[in-house]
Amino acid sequence: MEKRREEKVPSAVSLNKCAACYRQFNRMEHLVDHMRTSFHSVHEPTCGVCKKHCRSFESLREHLIGPLPKQECRNVFNIRGCKFCLAIVDSPYALRVHQDRCQLSGVNHGILAYMANLGLRDSLTIDNGYSRGPQVVALACKTVGGGSDRSLDLCARVCIIDENENIIFHTYVKPPIPVTNYRYAHRINPSIRPEHLRDAMPLRQVQRKVQDFLCNGEPTWKIRSPKGGKARILVGHGLDHDLDKMQVEYPPIMIRDTAKYPPLMKTSKLSNSLKYLTQAYLGYDIQNGIQDPYEDCVATMRLYVRMRRQVHRRQDYPLASDPQNRNNFASWRQNELERMSPEEMLAISRSDYYCWCVDSA
């Protein structure tokens, strides 16, 4: 009888288990420290079987089908799990329907061949009035080499598309210094040739057009939030590089970069290539043959839309950096926090990154 009574009493370790990632701690104060620095939230990728929170989709993938998966979750995922979005559906039949919809088809190679010979297409406009919700566009550029060692990246081709994958702007760009390397070795079918740049639009003109289009009539210094303003949300992959080569400045609050979005990064917190992300999460291959900025734009826009459609519980102040949340795990609340249950601490924990699902709220 005494032995049975002891078995019913939960251990101290089980009481000090994180309600999000299920890590266990010997002392409650260690769990509080963990919650203070982990930034667990409703926006993290979550296992559809055991409800464990993961920092990224790559971490969730390892949990489900990695070298050392949780066996119970793996068994369910093998029967009812989507290999693209990692969701768990109700039945094997529902999985077939879901996965057919989840796997997208790539850009037609005939379109890419047409794009390679496409000259200037300019539909950049400034809206006079406020549209309903922020407009979203995707941008990509391709570079050639410059300088005596041929390693200096020079913007030579730019493409911008809207959310429906229509081309808004496409042009070859004339760099401000001579091109010394067209980088044919890196492209099976070179998409940038000397004749493309001979009469191309000068970089300074491209920079001014793109800057004005993105800001949409709003001064850069006034852009503080994607809500309520006219400036456009900019989607891309490695946008720091692209904007730098185009000499365009744009507020980070309006940028959605698939190379820097924490749920799409590696477990080592390094960026995944756009080629990998497209294959893993959209189900098709890119950058096979012609290296085209339109194809990159389409891939990044599709990734953004998929991440934006994630369904998370809505919170008025979702960021840990919001003034309303800055004291949630303050050191002066240590005693109060140690009296909370793990579930109560998770309820007040907030994300340290801006979740793209907030764009659709």
pLDDT, tens only, 221-237: 888 777 767 899 999 99
pLDDT in tens, 11-44: 444 579 999 999 999 999 999 999 999 999 999 9
| CB distance 233 to 137 below 8 Å | yes
Greater model confidence, 190 or 244:
244
| CB distance 309 to 355 below 8 Å | no
pTM: 0.91
The DSSP secondary-structure symbol of 88 reads: B
pLDDT in tens, 43-90: 999 999 999 999 999 999 999 999 999 999 999 999 999 999 999 999
Q: How confident is the model at residue 5 (pLDDT cuts 50, 70, 90)?
A: very low
Mean pLDDT of the chain: 88
Q: Which helix (H) or strand (E) holds 335?
A: helix 334-338
Rounded to an integer, what distance in angstroms lies between the CA atom of residue 192 and that of residue 314?
46
Q: Helix (H, G, I), strand (E, B), or coil: what is residue 160?
A: strand
Rounded to an integer, what distance in angstroms lies between the CA atom of residue 61 and that of residue 72?
14
Residue tagged 């995944």 (tokens): 272
According to CATH, the topology of domain 108-309 is Nucleotidyltransferase; domain 5 (3.30.420)
Rounded to an integer, what distance in angstroms lies between the CA atom of residue 87 and that of residue 297?
25
Q: Where are the domains of the chain?
A: 16-102+315-360, 108-309
Checking if the pLDDT of 186 tops 70, the result is no
Q: What is the pLDDT of residue 4?
A: 46
Rounded to an integer, what distance in angstroms lies between the CA atom of residue 170 and that of residue 240?
20
pLDDT in tens, 193-217: 888 888 899 999 999 999 999 998 8
Residue tagged 């409800």 (tokens): 51
What's the whole-number mean pLDDT along residues 297-307?
97
Rounded to an integer, what distance in angstroms lies between the CA atom of residue 200 and that of residue 245?
16
| CB distance 238 to 257 below 8 Å | yes
Greater model confidence, 118 or 353:
353
DSSP track, 60-85: HHHHHHSSS--HHHHHHHHHHB-TTT
| CB distance 49 to 73 below 8 Å | yes
What's the whole-number mean pLDDT along residues 123-128?
75
Q: Residue 24 to residues 52, 53, 62, 223: CA-CA distances in angstroms?
A: 13, 14, 20, 43
Inter-axis angle of helices 109-116 and 293-308, to 10 degrees? 130
Choose the most confident range, by mean pLDDT, from 67-76, 116-125, 131-140, 190-199: 67-76
Inter-axis angle of helices 239-246 and 203-215, to 10 degrees? 120
Q: What is the pLDDT of residue 7?
A: 46
Extract the tokens encoding 305. 């839309």
Q: What is the pLDDT of residue 292?
A: 86
DSSP alpha helices (H): ranges in 130-202?
194-198
Q: What is the pLDDT of residue 334?
A: 96
Q: How confident is the model at residue 219 (pLDDT cuts 50, 70, 90)?
A: confident
Rounded to an integer, what distance in angstroms lies between the CA atom of residue 70 and that of residue 72?
6
> CB neighbours of 197 closer than 8 A, spacing ≥ 6?
144, 156, 172, 173, 174, 175, 179
Extract the tokens encoding 313. 């519980």
Q: What is the pLDDT of residue 12?
A: 46
